[in-house]
């Protein structure tokens, strides 16, 4: 095959989670700390490492076929409605909130009223849209990291991302607005989706990643149950469709297998035990293809 699927991976905090997910579906690569071009185990895929901020625009331009970035950067680059960029999958990784925050003292003293504000943000478009929406008398200061360090001396308000809010609280900043929620997305260019073999390859990658994400949400429970307890127990099982049931040797009861949400297991196992289940086993799942 003369061409390859050109995939862009995000450098930084997104890289490890994305790499682990790709390895789970058989796409492995070796990274040299001095190189931006890892060697991929799949001969049909060519990988490059870039900052997530740059990935949406480069894919929309057709310079790469697919990649991973946050929804915040897709919106920041005004590509959330673009015909040249398609979101194939929301991975749910690195969930952050884009918020407006101000110093506690400034808020308590009414310092936002009627004042020309300096609003600091790494997000130029998102911040400008917020300033316009709220009709603020404000000057936007573009930052390049460590935005939370600017108030109160150098900025009156920041628009930044946060996962827990702990960094903001540490810097005595109070959230006054939540602008959007962002997670990691798997995206592709319109050109790649219009190329038959690349489209098929992207659909396969999307399906396998989704199956791995599905498996993260569920476990397999296996148990034995006596005949007299069977009907009552099965009626209580929160399975995906219906449980797998097989008779035990000697016709003494049944072996039951069921896939259940991971979050339900701590409460479910004691309930099943009370309903007569015995020899309960719990298995991790690798993939669930629906």
Domain CATH code at residue 32: 3.40.190.10
Report pTM: 0.89
pLDDT of 1 reads 43
Is pLDDT at 174 greater than 80 in this prediction?
Answer: yes
Can you list the pairs that 236-243 forms with residues at least 24 positions away whose Cβ atoms lie under 8 Å? 236/271, 236/272, 236/275, 237/272, 238/264, 238/268, 240/288
Angle at alpha carbon of residue 133, lines to 131 and 138, rounded to 5°: 20
Quick one: what percent of the chain has pLDDT higher than 70?
A: 96
What confidence tens digit (pLDDT) does each residue in 211-251 have? 999 999 999 999 999 999 999 998 888 776 788 999 999 88
DSSP state letters, 227-248: HHHHHHHHHT---SS--EEEEP
pLDDT of 114 reads 67
- Name 92's Cβ contacts closer than 8 Å, sequence gap at least 6: 183, 184, 213
| Count of domains forming the chain | 3
Mean pLDDT of 115-135: 94
Domain that holds residue 189: 5-92+184-215
289 assigned to some structural domain: no
pLDDT of 95 reads 95
Is pLDDT at 70 greater than 60 in this prediction?
Answer: yes
Higher pLDDT: 22 or 145? It is: 22
53 plus 20 within the same structural domain:
yes
35 assigned to some structural domain: yes
Mean pLDDT of 188-199: 96
Distance (Å, whole) CA 150 – CA 250? 74
The mean pLDDT of the chain is 92
Q: Is 197 helix (H, G, I), strand (E, B) or coil?
A: helix
Is pLDDT at 88 greater than 80 in this prediction?
Answer: yes
């Amino acid at each position: 095959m003369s061409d390859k699927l050109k995939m862009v991976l995000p450098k930084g905090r997104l890289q490890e989670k994305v790499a682990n997910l790709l390895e789970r579906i058989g796409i492995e690569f070796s990274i040299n700390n001095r190189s931006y071009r890892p060697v991929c185990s799949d001969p049909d895929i060519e990988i490059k490492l870039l900052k997530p901020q740059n990935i949406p625009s480069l894919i929309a331009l057709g310079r790469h076929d697919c990649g991973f970035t946050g929804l915040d950067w897709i919106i920041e680059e005004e590509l959330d409605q673009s015909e040249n960029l398609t979101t194939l999958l929301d991975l749910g990784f690195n969930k952050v909130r884009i918020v407006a925050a101000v110093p506690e003292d400034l808020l308590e003293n009414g310092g936002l009223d009627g004042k020309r504000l300096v609003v600091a943000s790494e997000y130029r478009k998102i911040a400008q849209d917020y300033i316009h929406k709220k009709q603020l008398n404000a000057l936007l200061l573009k930052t390049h990291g460590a935005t939370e360090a600017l108030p109160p001396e150098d900025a009156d308000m920041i628009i930044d991302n946060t996962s827990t809010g702990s960094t903001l609280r540490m810097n005595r900043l109070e959230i006054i607005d939540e602008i959007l929620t962002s997670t990691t997305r798997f995206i592709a260019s319109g050109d790649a989706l219009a190329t038959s073999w690349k489209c098929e390859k992207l659909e396969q990658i999307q399906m396998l990643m989704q199956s791995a994400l599905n498996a993260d949400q569920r476990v397999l429970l296996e148990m034995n149950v006596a005949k007299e307890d069977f009907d009552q127990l099965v009626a209580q099982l929160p399975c995906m469709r219906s449980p797998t049931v097989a008779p035990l040797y000697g016709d003494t009861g049944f072996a039951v297998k069921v896939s259940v949400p991971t979050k339900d297991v701590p409460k479910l196992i004691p309930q099943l035990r009370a309903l007569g289940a015995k020899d309960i086993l719990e298995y991790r799942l690798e993939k669930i293809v629906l």
